[in-house]
């Protein structure tokens, strides 16, 4: 059984049905009836007029958002383990034409207002130094922690005071909402977030993510950037339809709750001694000897090593809870 | 009835079935079983060992290919009406970090060895002038003409002699193969083509195009460029599956033949007097007064104006031949 | 005797004296007393509060200016023979991160309001096409013609109406002012020019050009771009001192008048039959058989061939008028 | 008296004389007699056939060199206090089209083979992570330490083993040679360095630095990059002449020795208690209370604060040793 990655999971049935339903003649690019409903659907979700665009990957969504916030000569403050730094092949540098990522430390891949503020303090305001232009956080983080609304808000205050655009990598935003129970608005625009990537692919989508601008004016240039990056699909309705299907009846939340529940079951089995971080989404980082890991793999469980003496499990929307229970038992039995 | 664009058509049934069949757990990115079959499938088609990658748009496929052939300080020779110049929002400049497109004239958006050669002659070989690095053609062209194999080969000879990489925009390559009856190998690598985008979306696909390198060595850096451009989808199996479905049993050719047949029926109805160019693929450019165009639209036919006194019809793989016959009759009756 | 290029001439005595005078301890970069006087000196010259920065080359000055006017996804309209297109090695693409140059025809490398307007008309206002963002002209042009103030003003009107930034390549602006007798303000900001490169190197400077923004707000980001492009010299006083020396007592005009006078003497000798273009600055394009050219070269005159049956002479600020007279006689005697 | 920066010092007399001597008609760009002597002069200095180009700033020289070593999708390993990271306004990102700087720690801004090796180890060799392509060190470092030849060589071994290009920022290379007494060859190509910027401006030049490629093949594209970046001056002889004047009779070493001697005198006065780092070039970092610093400034000495309780003094080639003696006495008297 695979606990490698939520990217390995299939698309959920409602998404497949939506693709079938959208499979008819319509206007090309994003002029179709599905794409045109995106702004409204996200505006409803966030309780605010927003501008929403589809993109086929989280990397594209993140970097189009960052390019809208940060000029080529600016820098983006982010955690040193942020996905945009560690796993996007330098895409931020490509989309921004060379802007820098300024890397900050922080427990569990979380930033604090202090580290952000200090990083700004260290930069001389002259032409020799790259000036901070944007702040980027990931919620849930790369280590499976969820920022609470007030944590985001204090970061938003620093961003505002420092004149930084505020970007949220929401590849697992659904998991953070599911875990915290917070209003999506409180985790985003009410906390000062300007733009977010809203992840669907890890959560049951096929190949559609959303890019949401809470200030539509900041999105103005983005349709051009998207096209210029080769991300304006000619049959965009198939992306929009996926997203709309997942927003309907809060399927995005339902799926995320399922993945979180699986992770929680494993976390309880692992116990706080073994857990490197509290489990607040659908990822677990677990201390385990190579022998212990081998014994689990011998039972058919697949997962990544994550540094010496640590392994990572990721759960998905479609996780079979019986199998999860068996893995939980196997972990308990180590 | 829509004759706007082949992008408006739905995905064909075999593609939809392939998506359903691929909808299960597998390795993320392009490590899945479908993606791993792409090289082999295209090698079979072209009778040569090639390297093939999926991409979600023709713009991405074209520009990743061009970036592999042309350095930032080089130029790409192409027709002044080439899609990469006219309809890709400057994407070639983005992916190549600022390389130039050098625009050449030519009847029906076709280039000739003479214009290509002359363009090279005009460039002084010094550091002040941007040096030609690549040649790009589109087959079938933006005006619905198809290069024959020998025409491509004479262009390939100039490219080779001038040290130019040779790129083929194959958004409608299937239509060109269907029209000319040529062996795909003769229209590409045997004629000197180094890399092509192989279009599926306009021809019944949903959102997958292929990028084919006839010299695998030239593709080496491309997986990194694709990731860096946000085009490495995390569930790549859904792209690969579409492509494989369309290669199977030559569905790509069957679909293209259907679209070409619809265009040929309309072309016959229009007659050579009205046709701006011979119809050698699935596009027609037809001379028509505004009143004539209006009368067709009044009957429910949708199509674009294309310059003063000209309109464009594009036919698709799924065109209802009865409706095509009615439009043909309406054109005849003008 | 060299009539190759005004770049071959030495620096004039006043520039050398200024370098010696500036050769003492001062603040680094552009914090020195000379650099700080630039804004004022150019504001006096143009009768308007401007922002002026030094740069070491015309290419850098032009491209920093263009980068301030045109986003990466925009295009710059210019003549097909413009220096930025033909002789800057793709630098506009580098500094703008991939913006396009849209090439326009025009007699003697001059643009007309009609060609500019038509070029804008041809662009669909959608995300697929690169939108015109700036207009660039060269005065005096690459073929030695000078725009009159009213010609610049009609171009400026089109630029304004179309929302284009207006850039002037002033590598030989001094020659245009000297020829037309126009007020520099009338050839620039009163005619709608937003930014210009003001050439000194071809006119007796050593290695300092100026970049002048008529709207200081548009210059705001430019000091950062200059540094980022490696053009912020650490001992900037040596650039500023050259420029100030050439502005003092209108030395820039005196030098340009000398070069123009030499060209006028040659033009008179050549006669209108031989002249490809009227001579309105310091360049002549002369019809001449290869044998005639060879006979002049045999007498010790150096100059470039410029297409079949044409040669180019360029005169400099330091041209010996006696030698010019001898060349004039030799041309007459052909 | 200024101890701010070696950029504040004037150009030395031999440089001024060389400019005067070069002030005559010659071929433009780098076709002149001075520029053509550069390769030979540096080949003599390094005892190896090299390719040398002038550039007007250290930032340009560094970044052209880095662009020759690192592709847009690669990363450059450097110290977290490296000039290319801290004081070049993101120029490496501009010249490389978005390559990353991977920042490493190290005492006194020096890297060790271990930190370099560890940084490479941490990178997974897949398309998701930016791969290290180059290593860059500064000698003398930003904190005034000099790498010894064997230290450079052990870094060169790691670079070679890891397939990294090896770049040396030699803004104060002369000071490092003067301090270590090493053969320039042993500090560079014999230790594996591929390309270096060789600084002259801080050491008595006006506005000319050299970019030296120890493997001329790696320089092939650089003249195009230089032109494209606006750094090909049209009267390049004035840059080449400065460099040649400083190479003649080892003036570059004489000047550096003078600056180092002044720094050594101040270091002795400060004593090891106050010195943050050993003084191995022309920079001192001295622990000092704000009151002490104020008392020195009250006596007319200018210098920068450098973090809490620290100040920086930089000495120049032209430092008046009597004044240095007075400052030394004043420091002693604190």
pLDDT for B4 equals 80
Nearest Cβ partner of A235 from B19, B201, B228?
B201
CATH for the stretch A13-251 = 3.40.640.10
Give the tokens for residue C15.
């520039």
> Hey, how many other C-beta atoms are within 10 angstroms of the C-beta on A186?
17
Closest CA to C173 of C206, C135, C146: C146
Sort out which chain D residues have CB atoms less than 8 A from B100's CB and list them. Answer: none
Chain D closest-CA separation from residue A26 CA (Å): 35
Chain C closest-CA separation from residue B329 CA (Å): 32
Nearest Cβ partner of C224 from A73, A226, A232?
A73
CB contact under 8 A, B207 and A231: no
Given the structure tokens 């970090």, which residue do they identify? B97
Nearest Cβ partner of A225 from C73, C131, C228?
C73
Q: What is the 3-state secondary structure (H, E, C) of chain B?
A: CECCCCCCCCCCHHHHHHHHHCCCCCCCECCCCCHHHHHHHHHHHHCCCCEEEEECCHHHHHHHHHHHHCCCCEEEEEECCCHHHHCCCCHHHHHCCCCEEEEECCHHHCCCHHHHHHHHHCCCCCCCCCEEEEEEEECCCCCCCCCCHHHHHHHHHHHHHHCCEEEEEECCHHHHHHHHCCCCCCCCHHHCCCEEEECCHHHCCCCCEEEEECCHHHHCCHHHHHHHCCCCCCECHHHHHHHHHHHHHHHHHHHHHHHHHHHHHHHHHHHHHHECCCCCCCEEEEECCHHHHHHHHHCCCECEECCCCEEEEECCCCCCHHHHHHHHHHHHCC
Nearest Cβ partner of C232 from A127, A131, A225?
A127
Half-sphere exposure of D314 (CA within 13 A, CB side): 19
Give the tokens for residue B85.
């110049």
- Is there a contact between B311 and B334 (Cβ–Cβ < 8 Å)? no
Whole-model pTM over 0.90: yes
Q: At a CB cut-off of 8 Å and minimum separation 6, what does B300 contact?
A: B1
The tens digit of pLDDT for each residue in C232-270 reads 999 999 999 999 999 999 999 999 999 999 999 999 999
CB contact under 8 A, C90 and D57: no
Chain B closest-CA separation from residue C133 CA (Å): 13
Verify cis geometry, omega within 30 degrees of 0, for the bond prior to B111.
Answer: no
Given the structure tokens 């005892």, which residue do they identify? D47
Nearest Cβ partner of B93 from C86, C98, C103?
C98
CB contact under 8 A, B90 and C101: no
CB contact under 8 A, C73 and A221: yes
CB contact under 8 A, C98 and B101: no
Domain ranges of chain A: 13-251, 252-332
Q: At a CB cut-off of 8 Å and minimum separation 6, what does D209 contact?
A: D54, D55, D56, D57, D58, D60, D61, D171, D197, D198, D199, D200, D201
pLDDT for C8 equals 84
- Is there a contact between C281 and C176 (Cβ–Cβ < 8 Å)? yes
Q: Look at domain D13-250 and name its CATH class.
A: alpha beta
pLDDT for D307 equals 84
Nearest Cβ partner of D201 from C90, C94, C234?
C234
For residue A43, give Cα distances in angstroms to A183, A188, A215, D170. 13, 13, 11, 55
pLDDT for B1 equals 77
Cα C199 from chain centroid? 5
Residue in chain B nearest A235 by alpha carbon:
B7
CB contact under 8 A, B221 and D71: yes
d(CA B300, CA D195): 68
Neighbours of D (≥3 Cβ pairs closer than 8 A)?
A: A, B, C
Neighbours of B (≥3 Cβ pairs closer than 8 A)?
A: A, C, D
> For chain C, what's the residue count?
334
CB contact under 8 A, A127 and C72: no
Chain A closest-CA separation from residue C226 CA (Å): 9
Sort out which chain D residues have CB atoms less than 8 A from A98's CB and list them. Answer: 90, 93-94, 96-98
By percentage, how much of chain B surpasses pLDDT 70? 100
pLDDT for A110 equals 98
Sort out which chain C residues have CB atoms less than 8 A from D20's CB and list them. Answer: 16
The tens digit of pLDDT for each residue in A223-260 reads 999 999 999 999 999 999 999 999 999 999 999 999 99
Chain D closest-CA separation from residue B224 CA (Å): 5
Sort out which chain A residues have CB atoms less than 8 A from B57's CB and list them. Answer: 230-234
pLDDT for C1 equals 78
CATH architecture of D252-332: Alpha-Beta Complex (3.90)
Sort out which chain D residues have CB atoms less than 8 A from C64's CB and list them. Answer: 230
The tens digit of pLDDT for each residue in C11-30 reads 999 999 999 999 998 999 99
pLDDT for A4 equals 81
Nearest Cβ partner of A90 from D88, D94, D130?
D130
Mutate to test the interface with A, among C35, C55, C67, C73 (most CBs of A within 10 A): C73
Give the tokens for residue C123.
């662009």
Sort out which chain C residues have CB atoms less than 8 A from D238's CB and list them. Answer: 11, 206-207
The tens digit of pLDDT for each residue in A2-55 reads 888 888 899 999 999 999 999 998 999 999 999 999 999 999 999 999 999 999
Residue in chain D nearest A103 by alpha carbon:
D103
Chain A residues whose C-beta is within 8 A of a chain D C-beta are 72-73, 75, 86-90, 93-94, 96-101, 103, 127-130
Residue in chain C nearest B125 by alpha carbon:
C89
CATH for the stretch C13-249 = 3.40.640.10
Given the structure tokens 């214009």, which residue do they identify? B115
Chain C residues whose C-beta is within 8 A of a chain B C-beta are 72-73, 75, 86-90, 93-94, 96-101, 103, 127-130
Sort out which chain C residues have CB atoms less than 8 A from B93's CB and list them. Answer: 72, 93, 98-100
CB contact under 8 A, A226 and C127: yes
- Is there a contact between C270 and C194 (Cβ–Cβ < 8 Å)? no
Closest CA to B179 of B142, B216, B148: B148
Nearest Cβ partner of B97 from D72, D224, D227?
D72
CB contact under 8 A, D90 and A127: no
pLDDT for C292 equals 97
Average pLDDT along chain A, 334 residues, taken 10 residues at a time:
85 98 93 97 98 98 98 98 98 98 98 98 97 98 98 98 98 98 98 98 98 97 98 97 97 98 97 97 97 96 92 95 95 94
Residue in chain D nearest C206 by alpha carbon:
D235
Average pLDDT along chain D, 334 residues, taken 10 residues at a time:
85 98 93 97 98 98 98 98 98 98 98 98 97 98 98 98 98 98 98 98 98 97 98 98 97 98 97 97 97 96 92 95 95 94
pLDDT for C307 equals 85
Its ipTM equals 0.97
Give the tokens for residue B185.
């190998």
Residue ranges in chain B modelled with pLDDT below 50: none
Mutate to test the interface with A, among D90, D142, D312 (most CBs of A within 10 A): D90
- Is there a contact between C213 and C51 (Cβ–Cβ < 8 Å)? yes
The tens digit of pLDDT for each residue in C73-125 reads 999 999 999 999 999 999 999 999 999 999 999 999 999 999 999 999 999 99
Neighbours of A (≥3 Cβ pairs closer than 8 A)?
A: B, C, D
Residue A113 has phi, psi (to 5 degrees) of -55, -35
Nearest Cβ partner of D224 from B73, B224, B225?
B73
Residue D167 has phi, psi (to 5 degrees) of -110, 140
């Amino acid at each position: 059984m695979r606990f490698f990655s939520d990217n390995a999971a299939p698309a959920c049935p409602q998404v497949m049905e939506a693709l079938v339903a959208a499979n008819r003649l319509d206007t090309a690019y994003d002029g179709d009836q599905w794409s045109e409903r995106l702004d409204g659907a996200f505006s409803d979700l966030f309780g605010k007029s927003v501008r929403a665009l589809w993109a086929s990957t989280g990397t594209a969504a993140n970097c189009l958002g960052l390019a809208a916030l940060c000029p080529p000569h600016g820098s983006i403050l982010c955690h040193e383990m942020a996905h945009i730094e560690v796993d996007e092949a330098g895409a931020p540098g490509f989309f921004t034409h060379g802007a820098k990522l300024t890397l900050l430390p922080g427990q569990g891949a979380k930033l604090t207002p202090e580290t952000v503020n200090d990083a700004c303090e260290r930069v001389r305001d002259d032409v020799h130094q790259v000036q901070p232009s944007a702040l980027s956080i990931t919620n849930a983080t790369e280590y499976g922690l969820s920022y609470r609304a007030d944590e985001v808000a204090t970061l938003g205050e620093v961003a505002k005071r420092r004149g930084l655009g505020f970007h949220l990598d929401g590849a697992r935003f659904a998991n953070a909402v599911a875990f915290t129970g917070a209003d999506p608005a409180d985790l985003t625009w009410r906390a000062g977030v300007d733009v977010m990537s809203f992840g669907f692919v890890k959560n049951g989508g096929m190949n559609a993510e959303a890019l949401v601008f809470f200030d539509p004016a900041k999105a103005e240039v983005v349709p051009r950037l998207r096209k210029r990056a080769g991300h304006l699909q000619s049959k965009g309705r198939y992306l929009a339809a996926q997203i709309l299907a997942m927003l309907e009846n809060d399927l995005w939340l339902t799926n995320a709750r399922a993945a979180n529940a699986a992770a929680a079951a494993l976390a309880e089995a692992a116990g706080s001694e073994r857990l490197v971080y509290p489990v607040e989404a659908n990822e677990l980082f677990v201390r385990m000897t190579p022998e212990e890991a081998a014994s689990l793999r011998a039972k058919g469980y697949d997962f990544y090593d994550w540094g010496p003496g640590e392994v990572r499990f990721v759960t998905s929307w479609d996780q079979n809870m019986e199998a999860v229970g068996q893995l939980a038992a196997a972990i308990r039995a180590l």
